[in-house]
Amino acid sequence: MRALKNNDRVTSLLLAVLGSYVAFEGYSLKIGSLQDPKPGFLVFWAGILLTGLSLLLLIKTFRSLEAGSISPWKGLQWQKGLKIVIYLIVYVAVFKWLGFLISTFLLLLFLFKSLESQRWGTALLLSAGTTILCFFIFGYFLELRFPLGVLKMF
């Protein structure tokens, strides 16, 4: 039998709360009856089921003799994943304003340079080359409408 970890307690509780909230939303949408199910029917029962299953997992973590705590973050450079998410959020925020070309070039430069140490020359060349190539392939050949952003002025 797999060792149930303490981590499961936290996630099962979170999912139980989420399930309860969804059930409440389903109830607000109107459940209807078996003869005439309304829009909230599946939402409500799915919420109840998620809550029930989460509580079952929670109970299992307390009953399991093999319970222990293994951190899924230990010995790993999780900060890198966090950095990626931050860069991406900033990228989406400035995408329309700076346009595809500038924002993508900067994103790639950050990814090449700050997460894994690339040489400046390589990072610049790869970022510029990839951005221009993608712009032509997706924007020109596949007719995707990328925003030009500040470059629109030129």
Residues of this chain that bind another protein (CB under 8 A):
1-2, 7-8, 11, 15, 18-19, 22, 25, 29, 33-43, 46-47, 49-50, 53-54, 56-57, 60, 72-73, 76-78, 80-81, 84-85, 88-89, 91-92, 95-96, 104, 107-108, 111-112, 115-116, 118, 126, 130, 134, 138, 142-146
Q: Which is nearer to another protein, 68 or 77 (CB)?
A: 77
Assess contact for 123 and 112: CB atoms under 8 A.
yes
Q: Which is nearer to another protein, 35 or 154 (CB)?
A: 35
Q: Is 49 helix (H, G, I), strand (E, B) or coil?
A: helix
Phi, psi for residue 37 in degrees, rounded to 5: -65, 135
One-character DSSP codes across 127-148: HHHHHHHHIIIIIIIS------
Q: CB 154 → another protein: shortest distance, Å? A: 22
Beta bridge partners of 5: 68
